[in-house]
């Protein structure tokens, strides 16, 4: 959430930068500034009224002691009238503050100046790429057919048990899935991240803190009786560890990692591009989360992008990194890099990670702050990234490593799988 200070002091800059996200902020910014002016005026009037009440209340006792009963009664009447006025001012102040809040939460984060202009994924910019795209035989199979051939994943059984988008992993498929999770967690630990095992459901305050609410209610599974939400990513509970927390500057950067199942309704998803593992309602992912000072957050972002690159390289997958354009970025992000791996049998790139800097946008919602060297309280910057999301990694591994003899396992995973080939 943007701060009132930023909107008031840099009105034109806010409007200019939000235009890169294709968000016309002129009217809403004007409404916020006008409402904030009303809030300040109301607060000033309320403070003056309360001060007058306090002064008159103190005078009543003195007037009574001096035998000036009529004046004391007049003062009491004035206090009563002023209290009613104060009550009305407090109600107006609350109403104005709620109006400002309701406007602030629908404004996206400001994109970084390096964000390319554009409206669609086609406008994203390729930063760098690597790895070799394998040449597969003409009879190469897509991963959903490989999963059936080698009895790795049962999509139909998932439909029976739950519904579409909830696959059942079996045998070597389940072991490969677990191997990837352990591999990613071990790599994150070796890179200095502390492992967290978070809850898979969160309250509405947590959803608001990281920006899922009120923006993405339609994408989240909601347990209405308990008013709890299944997490769409471990980012939500892990970042919310620091909600309403003031860190010391020496504690930064915070570096956490977590594995979790993730739950997304993915309303409206259909077509050939969502077959098999390409688009699921429940999937596994390892997340990395960093909290840092504003001065160092973009250095942290670079480190996170470089780290995720090492993961896809160790898995021997062809990869590329995209700098997302304004129209393809999330509501809360200031700068995002997407990782894609090439799926040889499907002959297309699959997104497997987003690594983002949210600057102070989430921190302002979370009230996640730190005490700097001058003992002043400042908002932190928050960052996170997938390291990595498993379904499309699994899809690319199965497709790209298929041979006439079976599916070969990358060397980096052999200590985890206990088998070299799926046959």
Phi, psi of 85 (to 5 degrees): -65, -40
Type and span of the H or E element at 88: helix 69-104
Domains 4-104 and 121-422 share a fold: no
Q: What is the DSSP string of 20-36?
A: TTT---HHHHHHHHHHH
pTM comes to: 0.93
CATH number of 121-422: 3.30.930.10
Which pLDDT belongs to residue 70? 87
Two tokens at 274? 């969502």
What's the rounded Cα separation, in Å, for the pair 57 and 360?
44
**pLDDT per position as a tens digit, 126-153:** 999 999 999 998 899 999 999 999 999 9
Which pLDDT belongs to residue 96? 98
In angstroms, how far is CA 91 from the centroid of its own chain? 34
Which pLDDT belongs to residue 267? 57
Mean pLDDT for the chain? 95
pLDDT band at 72, cuts 50/70/90?
confident
Contact 6, 33 (CB under 8 A): no
Residue 269 has pLDDT above 60, yes or no: no
Cβ neighbours for 162, distance < 8 A, ≥ 6 positions apart: 282
**pLDDT per position as a tens digit, 293-327:** 999 999 999 999 999 999 999 999 999 999 999 99
Q: What ranges do the domains of the chain cover?
A: 4-104, 121-422
Contact 100, 38 (CB under 8 A): no
What's the rounded Cα separation, in Å, for the pair 8 and 2?
11
pLDDT band at 271, cuts 50/70/90?
low
Which pLDDT belongs to residue 359? 98
**pLDDT per position as a tens digit, 152-197:** 999 999 999 999 999 999 999 999 999 999 999 999 999 999 999 9
**pLDDT per position as a tens digit, 1-22:** 999 999 999 999 999 999 999 9
Which pLDDT belongs to residue 272? 54
Type and span of the H or E element at 246: strand 246-248
Closest CA to 96 of 229, 195, 202, 4: 4
Closest CA to 249 of 114, 376, 346, 130: 376
Q: How many helices (H) and strands (E) does the chain have?
A: 13, 19
Two tokens at 289? 């989360």
Residue 270 has pLDDT above 80, yes or no: no
Mean pLDDT computed over 351-377: 98
Closest CA to 295 of 236, 194, 191, 370: 370
Two tokens at 322? 């995209």
**pLDDT per position as a tens digit, 29-42:** 999 999 999 999 99
Selected residue with higher pLDDT from 58 and 347: 347
Residue 216 has pLDDT above 80, yes or no: no
Beta strands in 282-413 (DSSP E): 282-292, 319-323, 335-343, 348-357, 369-371, 377-379, 381-389, 402-403, 406-408
Closest CA to 6 of 36, 41, 44: 36
What's the rounded Cα separation, in Å, for the pair 28 and 19?
13
- Which strand ranges, in their side-by-side order, compose the sheet holding 246-248? 246-248, 369-371, 377-379
Question: Under CATH, which architecture does the 4-104 domain have?
Answer: Orthogonal Bundle (1.10)
């Amino acid at each position: 959430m943007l701060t009132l200070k930023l909107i008031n002091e840099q009105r034109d800059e806010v409007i200019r930068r939000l235009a890169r996200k294709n968000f016309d902020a002129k009217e809403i910014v004007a409404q916020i500034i006008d409402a904030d002016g009303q809030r300040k005026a109301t607060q000033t009037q309320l403070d003056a009224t309360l001060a007058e009440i306090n002064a008159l209340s103190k005078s009543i006792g003195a007037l009574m002691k001096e035998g000036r009963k009529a004046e004391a009664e007049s003062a009491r009447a004035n206090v009563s009238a002023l209290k009613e006025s104060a009550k009305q001012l407090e109600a107006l102040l609350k109403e104005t503050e709620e109006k400002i809040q309701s406007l602030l939460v629908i404004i996206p984060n400001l994109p970084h100046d390096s964000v390319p202009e554009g409206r669609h994924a086609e406008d994203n910019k390729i930063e760098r790429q690597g790895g070799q795209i394998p040449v597969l035989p003409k009879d190469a199979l897509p991963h959903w057919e490989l999963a059936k051939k080698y009895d790795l994943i049962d999509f139909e059984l998932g439909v029976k048990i739950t519904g579409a988008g909830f696959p059942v992993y079996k045998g070597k498929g389940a072991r490969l899935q677990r191997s990837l999770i352990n591999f990613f967690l071990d790599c994150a630990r070796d890179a200095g991240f502390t492992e967290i095992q978070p809850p898979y459901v969160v309250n509405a305050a947590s959803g608001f803190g990281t920006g899922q609410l009120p923006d993405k209610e339609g994408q989240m599974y909601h347990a209405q009786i308990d008013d709890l939400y299944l997490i769409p990513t471990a980012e939500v509970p892990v970042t919310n560890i620091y909600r309403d927390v003031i860190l010391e500057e020496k504690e930064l950067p915070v570096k956490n990692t977590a594995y979790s199942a993730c739950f997304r309704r993915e309303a409206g998803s259909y077509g050939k591009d969502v077959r098999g593992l390409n688009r699921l309602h429940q999937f596994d992912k390892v997340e990395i989360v960093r909290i840092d000072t504003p001065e160092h957050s973009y250095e942290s972002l670079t480190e996170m992008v470089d780290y995720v690159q090492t993961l896809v390289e160790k898995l021997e997958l062809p990869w590329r990194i995209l700098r997302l354009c304004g129209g393809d970025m999330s509501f809360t992000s200031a700068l995002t890099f997407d990782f894609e791996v090439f799926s040889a049998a499907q002959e297309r790139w699959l997104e497997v990670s987003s690594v983002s800097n949210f600057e102070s946008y989430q921190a302002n919602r979370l009230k996640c702050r730190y005490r700097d060297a001058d003992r002043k309280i400042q908002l932190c910057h928050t960052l996170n990234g997938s390291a990595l999301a498993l379904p499309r990694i699994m899809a690319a591994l199965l497709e790209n490593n298929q041979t006439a003899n079976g599916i070969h396992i990358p060397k980096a995973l052999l200590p985890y799988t206990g088998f070299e080939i799926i046959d």
